[in-house]
Amino acid sequence: MSIKTKEVLKDDIVQAVVVADTFGDEFLPISSDIPLALFPLINKPLIDYTLEFLSFGGIEETFLFCCSHTEAIKSHINQGIKDGAEWSLTMKVNVIVSESCHSFGDCLRDLDRKGILRGSFVLLEPGTLSNIKLLPIIRKHNEIANKDKGAAMTLIFQESGIGQMGRDPNEEAVVAVNSSNRILFHRKMGQSRERKIEFPLEIFLDNSSVSLHHNLKDTHIAICSPSVLPLFSDNFDFQTKDDFVKGLLMNEEILGSTVYCHITKGNNYGGAVTDWRMYQAVSRELQNKWIYPLQPSVLRNNILKNGVIVGKGVHIKDNKNIINSVIGDNVHIGENVQIRDSFIFSNTKINDGVIVTHSVIGPNCEIKSKTKITVGSIIGKGVTLEKEHLIEDTLVQATEPENCDPKDKLDKKAFRLKVTGTEDDLGKILSKKLSRLHIEDNRPEESDDDAFSDSEDEELSYTQSPVPDDTKLFFTEVIDSLTRGFEDELRCEHLILEINSSRYAYNVTVREVNFNVIKAILHMSLRLSTGPQYFSQFVRLLSYFAPVLKNYIRNDDAMLDTLQAVEDVAISNENVNEKWVMFVLKWFYDKDYISEDVILEWSKTLDAKSRFYAQVKPFTDWLEEAEEASSSDED
Amino acid sequence: MPQNANLSDVITLISDIKHGKVFSSYEIALRTENLLEKVISEEKWANAKELMQQIKGKIQQVTQSLPLETTATNIMRHILKVIREECDQVSKKKGEGQSLHQLVTADQSEERDYSESHGDLKNCLLDHLTEYKVELETSTENIAAQALEHIHTKEIILTVGKSNTVEKFLKHAAGQRSFQVIVVEAGPLYHGHKMAASLALSGIQTTVIPDSGVFAMMSRVNKVIIGTHSVMADGGLRAASGVHGVALAAKHYSVPVMVLAHMYKLTPSYVCSHEKDTFKMCASPANIIPYSTGPLLNKINVYNPIFDYVPPELVTLFISHQGGNAPSYVYRLLSELYHPDDYELY
């Protein structure tokens, strides 16, 4: 068996498919001039990083699928091969052009028709960067495919903490995996506002061990078996890879195909630039060496203080206000310019007094003095902004868009671009917030609150009743027993028996028993109807429970517990007045349940300023006088 | 154009290094040596000057792509020196040989014109290269053969991480003497574990200690024997991260620090040299703090430096295949290995 697989592996060259277009409008207006593959990521086109990653991973032949700006991509690849770029030595890159494809699925159907792929291949979604060594994972996939004939795809995930910048909030995924790494359940929470997930019961019944993962980040890398392309061709509604996975999992019995997963550990990283926020995150991670050995080119870039990277030929008059930004080649920056957390592409001129925060300025732009560009604005290629515009959370492009409002014209070479969506307003606002550049760490949590406020309330009410601990259960049981006993006129010995058995059931200590019993009786007294008859009823209640009291209040400690119970009840109930406290204390004193020494000692431990102390004071004063009187009598 | 064609072999070597197909400095040295053999025997060059230009071009290419790969560039620089020497010898044969007086009064600014062609320059160079290859192949054994001079019975030796040279050195001595070895783990990659396992398999009594335990154990140690990535021109070391701490602890307790270094590790550059980021080279922070940590990572910068600089005061002895040398003697060794004009080729 192993000899056969070795032979098979020798014949197959490892191939990879990279789809270079996103087919969406996430990157407008810059993507109307530059294809995603050639977006500069720290001054090097994105596709270069992807190809470097593939060649390090051991891939020998790559098919690059382009649907727009194909000439630019082709000439870039050819230039790379001519210059002897490293990936070109070990990997052959074929550019496949297809102008008629409108989605990821269409591209794969096209590939299926062409029939150029043999064996298992690696499938990358657009804008993927990684440092994962692919060959061992491909080998593992082939082994799995030998055992399970229906294994279609192995998705690669990376362990990632929630709230981390690199983890796309649009792609929160919950995955259920069994012990052989087969995916049983896969849901991308993304923009849906539901906080509850329903797992089908079968996955737990059919598998001996299931692990649920919410700590995974989709690396957008998948190892596919040869059966994947025909599956795409058969099902025309598979438009994206997520559709494919969802479809396969839903129709497992019909299609007979399974999806596996591989979770990378250690310093393996995988991520894709799917929107501006991920562009910012991947750029930050590239800078911080998470994707080692992929790193910003040391030759082309200079690293300045405050986390700023600049390209070649950059002129900056004064860089003390430039923080955490990436500046492309040949950029001229004037005086008093503040640039924070932004990306400025090449050949742009920024004049004095401009403020740019959390935005992207495209290539060949000119920003005249005192303009303010903030809050996730994207300026397209070739835009000229005259003085003193305030651009906030807007897309600006150089040429006039269709259906342009006159008020959208900012300048003769600057037009506001509106991107229409089909979702409801809240969904659109949320998705926009999640996909534009990350502003601060606090902000996303706020926006989460806005969107998820109702479900959050539900959660709060859920957690408001804490898990009752045993003492409280004991207390409720005691009150129940005593109430029942009083109403049904049960004998006190039986009540004592009940209380003692409850005590053992809840493992309550002796002192707590005393405390809770007294507390229970006092609580019962509070339920009595108020009025002139109150105290006589109270007396009746207390006398009825006399044997119980006698049983539990036997020593000094118990007396202290009793007093504490009184204190507890008095403090927790505001209706309790001084008269009640006095009455209770006097009754206990008269019936000789509590000795005066203990009362006096206890009163000294009370907080002098509390209301309760004021209520107790008259009684203790009276006691002291009585004591003196009695002792003087004795004398 | 011929320039570009020649660079393709260097580019292949660079790409192999980057892909990890050639890993240890010994393998890189052998590959470089093969490359040079091919250049000298197969490429077209009319005279020494052209040959040197070609080799200089290759050195520049390697320095640009892999600023840290000093092994390859050092060997190429050495070959440049050999070429110059051969030319000198041939031209001096015509004269009377360099007398002491000529050496003293030799004018530095005299440009040696290397553009005379020599018929047997090629053969001389190839002979030299074969000798050099033999030297390379046996250098590790030669270093190991000196082990008995340095390691005595019942000594406690400390070493850091994993080094093939140190391993062979210790195993050679273990054949005849019994001693103990303490291996420092060397986080964050913990190569020390593999080293300890390998030493223990050869019957050496080994202890593994964490990096934090170095100072505590240093008072018991007799000698520190370490390998290094490269030796700088001032006698300092560019070694794996963590070695500086060990060297400082050794200095405190006056424990001798011996560095096993092949001749191709001697680099004619200093710490604050033109190569801007060499000591700031950092690997992925995921080895220190995992990616799954969460939002904390948005607020911090994590650095995982690969190299450490150890100043020459902390090193006692350099052991090469020719014997032991003090760090203050390194400048002399450099002048024997490389020609001063070839020191800086950026």
pLDDT at B324: 92
Strand (E) positions, A229-364?
258-264, 270-272, 302-304, 308-310, 315-316, 322-323, 326-327, 332-333, 338-340, 343-344, 349-350, 355-357, 360-361
How do residues B314-323 score in pLDDT, each as one tens digit?
Answer: 999 999 998 9
pLDDT tier at B216 (50, 70, 90 boundaries)? very high
CB of A300 closer than 8 Å to CB of A222: no
Between helix A510-527 and helix A492-506 the angle, nearest 10°, is 120
- Write out the two tokens for A463: 């957690």
CA distance A86 to A411: 44
Q: Measured between CB atoms, does B299 come within 8 Å of chain A?
A: yes
Q: Measured between CB atoms, does B11 come within 8 Å of chain A?
A: yes
- Write out the two tokens for A332: 């001229």
Q: Which residues of B are less than 8 Å from A292 in CB distance?
A: 282-284
* B323: three-class secondary structure by DSSP: strand
Statement to judge: residues B153 and B236 lie in one domain = yes
Nearest to B294 among A90, A162, A298 (CB): A162
How do residues A557-592 score in pLDDT, each as one tens digit?
Answer: 888 888 888 888 887 777 767 777 788 888 888 888
- Which residue, among A285, A339, A363, A322, has the nearest Cα to A40 in the 3D structure? A363
Q: Do B291 and A163 touch (CB under 8 A)?
A: no
- Write out the two tokens for A607: 């907080």
pLDDT at B219 over 90: yes
Q: Measured between CB atoms, does A251 come within 8 Å of chain B?
A: no
pLDDT at A444: 40
Which of residues 149 through 188 in chain A touch B, CB cutoff 8 A?
158-166
CB of B121 closer than 8 Å to CB of B86: yes
Q: Do B284 and A55 touch (CB under 8 A)?
A: no
* Buried-state track B249-265, b at ≥16 Cβ within 10 A, e below 16: bbbeeebebbbbbbbbb
Q: Which residues of A are less than 8 Å from B8 in CB distance?
A: 84
Q: Do B298 and A165 touch (CB under 8 A)?
A: yes
Statement to judge: residues B132 and B179 lie in one domain = no
Q: Which residues of B are less than 8 Å from A299 in CB distance?
A: 64
pLDDT at A466: 54
Residue that terminates a domain, selected from B125, B142, B159:
B142
Kind plus residue range of the DSSP H or E element containing B9 = helix B2-19
pLDDT at B327: 93
Mean pLDDT of the region B39-60: 84
CA distance B77 to B337: 8
pLDDT at B95 over 80: no
Q: Do B19 and A90 touch (CB under 8 A)?
A: yes
Q: How close does chain B come to A265, measured CA to CA in Å?
A: 9
**Taking all residues of chain B, what is their mean pLDDT, rounded to a whole number?**
85
CATH (domain of B191): 3.40.50.10470
pLDDT at B109: 43
Q: How close does chain A come to B135, measured CA to CA in Å?
A: 32
Statement to judge: residues B315 and B204 lie in one domain = yes
Residue of B nearest to A157 (CA): B292
pLDDT at B102: 64
Backbone phi and psi for residue A9, each to the nearest 5 degrees, phi listed first: -65, -35
Q: Do A159 and B292 touch (CB under 8 A)?
A: yes
Q: Which residues of B are less than 8 Å from A89 in CB distance?
A: 11-12, 15
pLDDT at B116: 60
**Beta sheet of A338-340, edge-to-edge order:** A322-323, A338-340, A355-357, A372-374, A390-392
CATH (domain of B48): 1.20.120.420
Range of B6's domain?
2-142
Nearest to A269 among B277, B291, B293 (CB): B291
Task: Please give the ipTM for the structure prediction.
Answer: 0.81
| Residue A106 CB neighbour total at 10 angstroms | 20
Which of residues 304 through 333 in chain B touch A, CB cutoff 8 A?
304
Q: Measured between CB atoms, does A213 come within 8 Å of chain B?
A: no
pLDDT at B273: 53
Q: Measured between CB atoms, does A531 come within 8 Å of chain B?
A: no
Backbone phi and psi for residue A611, each to the nearest 5 degrees, phi listed first: -65, -35
Statement to judge: residues B222 and B279 lie in one domain = yes
Statement to judge: residues B226 and B245 lie in one domain = yes
Q: Measured between CB atoms, does B109 come within 8 Å of chain A?
A: no
Q: Measured between CB atoms, does B301 come within 8 Å of chain A?
A: yes
Q: Where does residue B212 rank: exposed (0-12), middle (13-18), buried (19+ CB within 10 A)?
A: exposed
Give the strand pairing for A302-304 and A258-264: unpaired
Q: Measured between CB atoms, does A271 come within 8 Å of chain B?
A: no
Q: Which residues of B are less than 8 Å from A84 in CB distance?
A: 4, 7-8, 11
| Residue B142 CB neighbour total at 10 angstroms | 15
Q: Do B286 and A299 touch (CB under 8 A)?
A: no
CB of B202 closer than 8 Å to CB of B179: no
| pTM for this model (two decimals) | 0.73
Statement to judge: residues B127 and B240 lie in one domain = no
Nearest to A90 among B15, B292, B298 (CB): B15
Q: Where does residue A467 rank: exposed (0-12), middle (13-18), buried (19+ CB within 10 A)?
A: exposed
| Residue A345 CB neighbour total at 10 angstroms | 24
- Tally of structural domains, chain B: 2
Q: Measured between CB atoms, does B295 come within 8 Å of chain A?
A: yes
Q: Do A292 and B294 touch (CB under 8 A)?
A: no
Statement to judge: residues B125 and B113 lie in one domain = yes
Q: How close does chain B come to A299, measured CA to CA in Å?
A: 8
How do residues B273-307 score in pLDDT, each as one tens digit?
Answer: 555 566 677 888 888 888 888 788 888 888 888 88
Q: Measured between CB atoms, does B3 come within 8 Å of chain A?
A: no
Q: Do A290 and B15 touch (CB under 8 A)?
A: no
- Which residue, among B139, B187, B185, B190, has the nearest Cα to B165 in the 3D structure? B139
Nearest to A267 among B12, B277, B286 (CB): B286
pLDDT at B134: 93
Q: Measured between CB atoms, does A348 come within 8 Å of chain B?
A: no
- Which residue, among B302, B305, B303, B324, has the nearest Cα to B315 in the 3D structure? B324
How is A302-341 classified by DSSP, letter by letter?
EEEGGGEEE-TT-EES--TTEES-EE-TT-EE-TT-EEES
Q: Which residues of B are less than 8 Å from A307 in CB distance?
A: 301
Statement to judge: residues B90 and B151 lie in one domain = no
Chain B interface, best mutation among A289, A341, A443, by max B CB count within 10 A: A289
CA distance A579 to A447: 54
Angle at A121 (CA atoms; ends A118, A127), nearest 5 degrees: 135
* Amino acid at residue number B132: Y
Statement to judge: residues B78 and B202 lie in one domain = no
Statement to judge: residues B135 and B150 lie in one domain = no
Residue that terminates a domain, selected from B94, B109, B142:
B142
Residue that terminates a domain, selected from B88, B108, B142:
B142
pLDDT at A238: 83
Length, in residues, of chain A: 635
Q: Which residues of A are less than 8 Å from B64 in CB distance?
A: 299
Which of residues 51 through 80 in chain B touch A, CB cutoff 8 A?
64-65, 67
Nearest to B283 among A56, A164, A292 (CB): A292
Low-confidence residues of chain A: pLDDT under 50? 1-10, 421-424, 441-465, 635
Identify the sign of the CA torsion A389, A408, A437, B305: negative
Q: Measured between CB atoms, does A3 come within 8 Å of chain B?
A: no
Q: Measured between CB atoms, does B283 come within 8 Å of chain A?
A: yes
Statement to judge: residues B217 and B118 lie in one domain = no
pLDDT at B185: 92
Q: Measured between CB atoms, does A135 come within 8 Å of chain B?
A: no
CA distance A110 to A96: 10
* A495: three-class secondary structure by DSSP: helix
Q: How close does chain B come to A341, measured CA to CA in Å?
A: 13
**Beta sheet of A378-379, edge-to-edge order:** A302-304, A308-310, A326-327, A343-344, A360-361, A378-379, A395-397, A414-417, A409-411
pLDDT tier at B152 (50, 70, 90 boundaries)? very high
Q: Which residues of A are less than 8 Å from B290 in CB distance?
A: 159, 266
Q: Measured between CB atoms, does B298 come within 8 Å of chain A?
A: yes
CA distance A137 to A121: 11
- Write out the two tokens for B341: 């004009």
Q: How many CB pairs under 8 A join A and B?
A: 85
Q: Euclidean distance between the first and final Cα of chain B, in Å?
A: 20
Q: Measured between CB atoms, does A467 come within 8 Å of chain B?
A: no
How do residues A375-413 score in pLDDT, each as one tens digit?
Answer: 888 888 888 888 778 888 888 888 777 777 777 677 777
- Write out the two tokens for A53: 């990653």
Q: Which residues of A are less than 8 Å from B295 in CB distance?
A: 161-165, 441
Residue of B nearest to A59 (CA): B19
Statement to judge: residues B92 and B224 lie in one domain = no
